[in-house]
Structure 1
Amino acid sequence: MPSLADTTRDRILFGGDYNPEQWPEETWPEDVRLMQAAGVNSVTLGVFSWSRLEPRPGVHDFGWLDRLMDLMHAGGIGVVLATPTASPPPWLGRLHPDTLPVDEDGRTERWGGRQHFSHSSGTYRRHAAAITEALAARYAGHPALTMWHVNNEYCTFDHGEEAAVRFRRWLRDRYGTLDALNTAWGTAFWSQGYGDWDEILPARRTHYLKNPTQVLDFRRFTSDMLLECFTAERDIVRRHTPHLPVTTNFMPLWHGQDAWRWAEEEDVVSVDLYPDPRDPLGAQHGALVQDMTRSQARGPWMLMEQAAGPVNWRGVNHPKPRGLNRLWSLQAVARGADAVCYFQWRQSRQGAEKFHSGMVGHAGEEGRTYQEVKRLGADLAGLGPHVAGTRTAADVAVLHDWHSWWAGDQEARPSTRFGYPDVLHAWHRALWEGRLTTDFAHPEHDLTPYRVVVVPQLYALTDAAVDNLLAHVRRGGTLVCGFLTGVADQDDRVRPGGMDARLRALFGIRTLHEWWPLEADETAACEGFRGTLWSEEIEPDGTAAETVPYRGGELDGLPAVLRKGRAWYLSTLPEPAALRDLLARVCAEAGVRPVLDGLPAGVEAVRRGDLLFLLHHGRDTVTVDLPGTHRDLLTGETVTDRVTLARHGVAVLTERPS
């Protein structure tokens, strides 16, 4: 299958979404001039162009796109051509109301925004296939075409009648019989037993709490239906251009999409990433998303969207300070990105996103945003031959699973004071602040490449996943698990004893008597630190080699942390510094060290291939001590023993001068 390397060819793709249909045609040559000056080598065309491409049913207007494709090719700029199916034209919804999604209260979502399509609608799927077929047939041989981008940010739910029919069909395929479904869903509770498939509904509004396994399966179904939409369009463009890679852009940690499964269907894994410039942990959030996307891609990946400045959808939309756009872009490259792109090229003057920044802002060519984009383009052009296609290695894996998240993040749980993403971020933050590069992995993935496996929280685990964790420890690997892990099976059925018995034996737990969730502002005193969010009443079985007890309160003297051999269990979330220090100790004992010791505060160090990236997330100038002599590929200078980084500064160092 084609890959990102087939498009990059020893360079880093640089550009973004280009929406020229919003501008007079005389603007287009000026855009090309500015793109060339900024080092742009790739643009994405057509993401939201369906109504322009097909203004009336079956009537196509490709002339403007023909001219654009030719213009891009003449300017030496490759085109990632999008299928426009994320935003159907108004005529489709008016003529075919069955194409519109329905929310859980039965309200139809109308056109006038975007993503107003029902993933289950046969009519929508036929029209989406038709416009995709027309595009692929017309542009398959165009020399500007380098990649396909299907749809955009798949994120729709649908509870309508056609979705109900498909949901029942999906359930038949999954369970085979109503008896098996009733067993899996636990319908003996609240007289919910189903005697006919037609009685089953999507997870619509109910008088009181919904059946949790029904909700879990509806989330699985939604991910699968959206994936069917993607693969249908993917297969059309593949048939016309089997040599070109196909992608669609993930939203990071979006609740409705099993990105592990989706990544297996993509040639290129891409993501949209918008950390808040005012968030003191914005860089760590970026690192988490980058690590996860690299792991889904199993190698280089594509940053499909980021903002050159402010976004338009937060309560207060802050611009990026000088240098931050460059810093965060190069952080993505350090963590495996071979493409750095934006939404969008030119900032819109009308529409819902006119205050969302572009590579060319309202200030135009002389504006700070464009000038910083030009500098970044020059940096990426210089780095491309050295970095494209290389790997970012990690000895630590963080386990993550959407199905476990879907099962655990529902109503009627012991606590709603936190969500699964909060726990995931806290553990990744501890590793990131410890300068430990991490991969992400599914709990059933091959874990043999990793010395340390970290499980922040996996509420629901299949038997295969539990066996995988046990096998990792038996092979000599280290396992660290957070609270509320292994509680339920794949059907959200609580395991006997409140935790899988094999895991309890692994950690040295005789009995998990009770969960003791904490209030939002409450902490639990432990020996040497304070726990947050959660605590558990655990009775050890006497086999643990090390315990850290709770001090005071109902759990006084009971273990907050247990270690048995190479297996650790944390029944609370230690405060940030304590979790960082604990994981640093565990990793050091397993032979995992930071990329570089003695780094100043705020400096991140990442190795990609033979290069060492130093990224300074602070505002004060700092000096980093180095072993030996290196060459900085960004400046061309040779540095010996130390390098100085100014505010938001970056150095990309070779292992030896060249």
Structure 2
Amino acid sequence: MRRRTSPESFDPSVVRPWNARIEGLGFGGDYNPEQWPQEVRLEDIELMREAGVNLLSVAIFSWATIEPREGELEWGWLDETMDRLHDAGIQVALATATASPPPWLTRKHPEILPRLADGTVLHQGGRQSYAVTHPVHREYALRMAARMAERYSEHPALALWHVDNEIGCHVPRDYSDAAAAAFREWLRARYGTVENLNEAWGTAFWSQRYGSFDDVLPPLVAPTFANPTQQLDFDRFSSDALLDYYRDLRDTLREITPHVPTTTNLMASSHTKGMDYFAWAPELDVVANDHYTVAADPDRHVELAFSADLSRGVAGGDPWILMEHSTSAVNWQPRNRTKLPGELLRNSLQHVARGADSVMFFQWRASRAGAEKYHSGMVPHAGTDTDVWRGVVELGRVLRALGEVRGSRVRSRAAMVVDWPSWWGSELDSHPTQALRYMDQVQAWYRALWRLGVTVDMVPPHGDLTAYDLVVLPTTYLVTDADAANVASAAERGATVAITYFSGIVDEHDHVRLGGYPGAFRELLGVRTEEFYPLQEGETVRVEGKAVGGEASADLWTEKTHVADGTEVVASYDDGALAGWPAVTRRSVGQDGAAWYVATRLDAAGLDALAARLVEESGVGPDVAPPAGVEVVRRWSEDGATSWLFAINHTDADATLGTPEAPVRGTELLTGEAADGALTVPARAVRVVRIG
């Protein structure tokens, strides 16, 4: 695709900070005035002042409102909105308005519509009804972005560009003719020759050898299993194609407004598989993320913490923007339960505790029509005499009180490797078990560390691991030689490294590393697995050993694993086909490092015990140990002289932090009270203590 601005010609020093005109933390949400009459828009401004709103996303789904017919542009309502918000002291994350093409465009050019793998066309009537790779759609979208930039380039309310919206949310994989052509070009760039492609894809199997790139298709619905490397490369291509779309829109904006930062709202969470956000991060001036809890999940606050840590990891540790979450219920889950008392505040401050410098919602005012009319808003259908509105106003007050944490960073000595290619590759078909889910182990390990009060950084396998004393690799199925060496070097420097089953199995082409599993990590771990023994549904085995708390249960996966000299068996299978064989091993590395291998899926109790052992060995435990159900996270000033301790109580009982050995002393910012050794956190409440 044609670049508007080459990376070499762009000077990042001219980009102003996204929050340069915002005092303290950002607070607001998506604002859609085009849905409302004039009297409601005027009321909105007064209510925004009351709540303390200072940042809004505007015009996300406004293409058809701005351009109701091709070439006929109606700017009046948006001009008025931008001026009113500026007069009210509110900054704008102005969208490119391209998140959903207008009906006239898809009627005129139906060829831009995306397709599923079975050929089904995804038609107009929802949103994101476009193929990002189609040149016709691309030209129309770039033209709209340019119009927005030309009109509002110097508007004083413009804080940053909000490019498109949740790119890839509904169509992470497009199988249209345009996507097929772009896929072939991507493969040419990746492999150079069709011979290299054939080698990488192993096309000697099942007579799949290609004579030309022109013969290659996306992995469409086929009589049986599609080529696994073809599927993996299509996942890579699709993530890259969506990123390329963002880049083209961003570069169009940069050409006109080089001083205005650009971002798009990612969806970094345990549920978003389609895009490799570590590859996206260098292209964003600031990372922004959307996150929604799942009402049916009793541990949804833990998944929220994971997603916030993942957002911070994608941002490279820098502060980031929470662009969307919900004040209460959403509209798209099977049962859309409202949030519990205090949950709005707790959810918001969890994100702030873990690095967000702005808290925003979808949306400002709950819609009266459309597919999201039952999605909660900052102003609910019932108006301002509601718990939701009172909660919004209280949150605004709290965020103003916490303004001083802006720009501070979270520090962690524990890291978890998260890798989208391993996610994609480990869940392909024709594997030892189809029940394996990558995020199962990621989330299980994260929950165990969360319960121990350990703050975790999320890093890619090629990321810098030098700052970490504990590194966990859950199901890191696919690694390059360089990735494997990077992990090994962490242990050699003295870190405790823990690697789970189905890790290091294949190289970047999804070719099995021969000689025994776990392939790339055999030497580091001092183990060699000769065969996998996946368990049937409902089948469990007992695992015995001090490392797992004496006795634990395990399911899904076991292995026939041999250990080398110097490798210690710390837990073994006590029954089943592999009774007596190793389940968990440990090998000392270098002077102080260690490499652990976990060859099965332990139950929660066993994993908790193992995680506690690793935390103790690596010394990464928290300095303020939290009671059960209380989340404790700390942000630090750049010079390290000041920190802010966030204590979030997710239980129905008051909790106390601090002991004579580890006192909590400082000023509590939400109440103004002093903490002198101990801190009481009321049930379902939050306390933030400035220390130093």
> Fold-level match, TM-score > 0.5?
yes
**How far does residue 471 in structure 1 lie from its aligned partner after superposition?**
1.2
Aligned counterpart, 1:134 = 147
- The question of 1:53 aligning with 2:51 is answered no
Q: In 1, distance between residues paired with 2:22 and 2:45?
A: 22
Q: Deviations over 1:413-436 (max 9, x none)?
A: 111223111111111111111100
**How far does residue 646 in structure 1 lie from its aligned partner after superposition?**
2.2
- The question of 1:581 aligning with 2:609 is answered yes
Aligned counterpart, 1:246 = 262
**How far does residue 508 in structure 1 lie from its aligned partner after superposition?**
1.6
Out of 566, 569, 593, the residue aligned to residue 543 of structure 1 is 566
Aligned counterpart, 1:600 = 627
- 1:160–1:501 distance in 2 versus 1, CA, 3 Å: closer
Aligned counterpart, 1:468 = 486
Aligned counterpart, 1:296 = 314
1:360-509 matches, cutoff 5 A: 360-384=379-403, 386-499=404-517, 501=519, 503-509=521-527
1:307-386 matches, cutoff 5 A: 307-384=326-403, 386=404
SS in 2 for 1:549: strand
1:14-29 matches, cutoff 5 A: 14-29=27-42
**How far does residue 543 in structure 1 lie from its aligned partner after superposition?**
2.1
Out of 201, 210, 224, the residue aligned to residue 217 of structure 2 is 201
With the length of structure 1 as denominator, give the TM-score of the two structures.
0.97
Aligned counterpart, 1:613 = 646
**How far does residue 316 in structure 1 lie from its aligned partner after superposition?**
0.5
Aligned counterpart, 1:225 = 241
Amino acid at match of 1:160: S
SS in 2 for 1:479: strand
Contact 2:543 2:552 in 1 (8 A): yes
Q: In 2, distance between residues paired with 1:279 and 1:7?
A: 38
Aligned counterpart, 2:75 = 62
SS in 2 for 1:619: coil
Q: In 2, distance between residues paired with 1:401 and 1:502?
A: 15
Amino acid at match of 1:543: G
Q: Deviations over 1:427-458 (max 9, x none)?
A: 11111111000001110111101111110111
| Count of aligned pairs | 653
Name whichever of 614-623 and 451-460 sits farther off: 614-623
Contact 1:595 1:607 in 2 (8 A): no
Aligned counterpart, 1:80 = 93
Out of 530, 535, 551, the residue aligned to residue 513 of structure 1 is 530
Aligned counterpart, 2:587 = 564
Aligned counterpart, 2:135 = 122
- The question of 1:650 aligning with 2:666 is answered no
Aligned counterpart, 2:676 = 640
Q: In 2, distance between residues paired with 1:344 and 1:408?
A: 36
Q: In 1, distance between residues paired with 2:416 and 2:449?
A: 10
Contact 1:86 1:117 in 2 (8 A): no
Out of 629, 634, 655, the residue aligned to residue 622 of structure 1 is 655
Q: In 2, distance between residues paired with 1:12 and 1:595?
A: 27
**How far does residue 196 in structure 1 lie from its aligned partner after superposition?**
1.9
Aligned counterpart, 1:234 = 250
Q: In 1, distance between residues paired with 2:54 and 2:248?
A: 29
Contact 2:569 2:582 in 1 (8 A): no
Contact 1:10 1:389 in 2 (8 A): no
Amino acid at match of 1:600: P
Amino acid at match of 1:548: A
Contact 2:481 2:520 in 1 (8 A): no
Aligned counterpart, 1:526 = 543
With the length of structure 2 as denominator, give the TM-score of the two structures.
0.92
Contact 1:488 1:499 in 2 (8 A): no
Q: In 1, distance between residues paired with 2:628 and 2:495?
A: 30
1:100-119 matches, cutoff 5 A: 100-119=113-132
SS in 2 for 1:545: strand
Q: Which runs of 5+ in 1 are unaligned?
A: none
**How far does residue 271 in structure 1 lie from its aligned partner after superposition?**
1.1
Contact 2:268 2:277 in 1 (8 A): no
SS in 2 for 1:497: coil
SS in 2 for 1:65: helix
Contact 1:396 1:451 in 2 (8 A): yes
Q: In 2, distance between residues paired with 1:525 and 1:88?
A: 56
Q: In 2, distance between residues paired with 1:625 and 1:229?
A: 50
**How far does residue 311 in structure 1 lie from its aligned partner after superposition?**
0.4
**How far does residue 120 in structure 1 lie from its aligned partner after superposition?**
1.0
Aligned counterpart, 2:187 = 171
SS in 1 for 2:570: strand
- 1:4–1:286 distance in 2 versus 1, CA, 3 Å: farther
SS in 2 for 1:405: helix
Amino acid at match of 1:581: A
Q: In 1, distance between residues paired with 2:137 and 2:279?
A: 23
Q: Deviations over 1:509-564 (max 9, x none)?
A: 1x312112223433221102122321111011232134311101111111100000
Q: In 1, distance between residues paired with 2:618 and 2:658?
A: 25
**How far does residue 587 in structure 1 lie from its aligned partner after superposition?**
2.1
- 1:520–1:312 distance in 2 versus 1, CA, 3 Å: farther
**How far does residue 595 in structure 1 lie from its aligned partner after superposition?**
3.7
SS in 2 for 1:210: coil
Q: In 2, distance between residues paired with 1:350 and 1:491?
A: 48
Contact 1:273 1:286 in 2 (8 A): yes
Q: In 1, distance between residues paired with 2:453 and 2:655?
A: 17
Q: In 2, distance between residues paired with 1:376 and 1:498?
A: 55
Aligned counterpart, 2:6 = none
Amino acid at match of 1:605: V
Aligned counterpart, 1:191 = 207
Contact 2:504 2:520 in 1 (8 A): no
SS in 2 for 1:364: coil
Q: In 2, distance between residues paired with 1:336 and 1:297?
A: 10
Name whichever of 314-323 and 581-590 sits farther off: 581-590
SS in 2 for 1:341: strand
Amino acid at match of 1:622: A
Q: Deviations over 1:562-611 (max 9, x none)?
A: 000100000012211221221222122222122412x3211111111111
Name whichever of 244-253 and 289-298 sits farther off: 244-253
Amino acid at match of 1:28: R
Percent identity reads: 43
Q: In 2, distance between residues paired with 1:392 and 1:10?
A: 21
**How far does residue 278 in structure 1 lie from its aligned partner after superposition?**
4.3
- 1:120–1:568 distance in 2 versus 1, CA, 3 Å: same
- 1:199–1:294 distance in 2 versus 1, CA, 3 Å: same
Q: In 2, distance between residues paired with 1:313 and 1:495?
A: 42
**How far does residue 100 in structure 1 lie from its aligned partner after superposition?**
0.7
**How far does residue 304 in structure 1 lie from its aligned partner after superposition?**
0.7
Name whichever of 297-306 and 616-625 sits farther off: 616-625
